[in-house]
Amino acid sequence: MPRLRWIRAAFLLLFCLTAPLAAEDVSKQWSYVYMPPGAVSLPSEITDWQPAPYLINPPRPEDEAATVLWLRMETPRRMAVSSHLFLGGVDQGFRLYDGDDALLHSFAVGPGGQVEFQGYPFQLIRMPPSLPRALYFEIVSDHVNIGLIGDVRLGSAEQIISDILWRDAGRTVIALICIGVGLLGLAIYMLTRSASYGAFTWFCIW
């Protein structure tokens, strides 16, 4: 029933807003290495990791053929339960492996390892029941930028959604106010057919 769906959605939103903000920012203490395409197929084959100063465009080697970026993240040991991994975005495609070389997730990477560009959406990836000790990203890009964009967080889905809602609460409130005022202007325009109210409505909603 439509009313029941609305009630469920309201309870989910309320739960997310009141959930503890415990999703952990794990965008620090990473390692990286650049490799030529096809040089390795699994993270266990890589030995020359080095600390990553940042996750987007870390310093490149002199070897111009090394265009595939591998990133390694050591997961927090205190998070032993099933979690979700949140990525603000990836430039441009990636495969995600656990410490046993098992493929956990893939996005915008074709069978031959080429990029199949699908934009820069955020990623919310469910982790295995037992959180791996390390996560490995094989990232490919067909232009100058490569790596992870924005926040990297680990926690329950509810905690991550709550973080996002609270972080953007100010902008969300402003957007809702603009939409409300725009709908009010639309109602007045429908009654009066005033061009000024029509322009005002267009401005508020868009």
pLDDT tens-digit readout, 105-154? 999 888 877 888 888 888 999 988 888 888 999 999 888 899 999 888 88
| Confidence check: pLDDT of 39 > 70 | yes
Give me the pLDDT at residue 189, please: 74
Give me the pLDDT at residue 20, please: 47
Q: What is the mean pLDDT of the chain?
A: 79
Give me the pLDDT at residue 18, please: 47
Interior angle at CA 191, CA 185 and CA 196, nearest 5: 45
E-assigned strand segments in the chain: 24-25, 30-35, 50-52, 68-74, 84-91, 93-98, 103-107, 123-126, 134-140, 147-155
> What pLDDT digit, counting tens, does each position of 161-205 carry?
777 777 666 777 777 787 787 788 777 777 777 777 667 666 666
Question: What residue type is assigned to position 132 of the chain?
Answer: P
Per the CB < 8 A criterion, the answer to whether 145 and 165 are in contact is: no
pTM: 0.70
pLDDT band for position 59 (cuts 50, 70, 90): very high
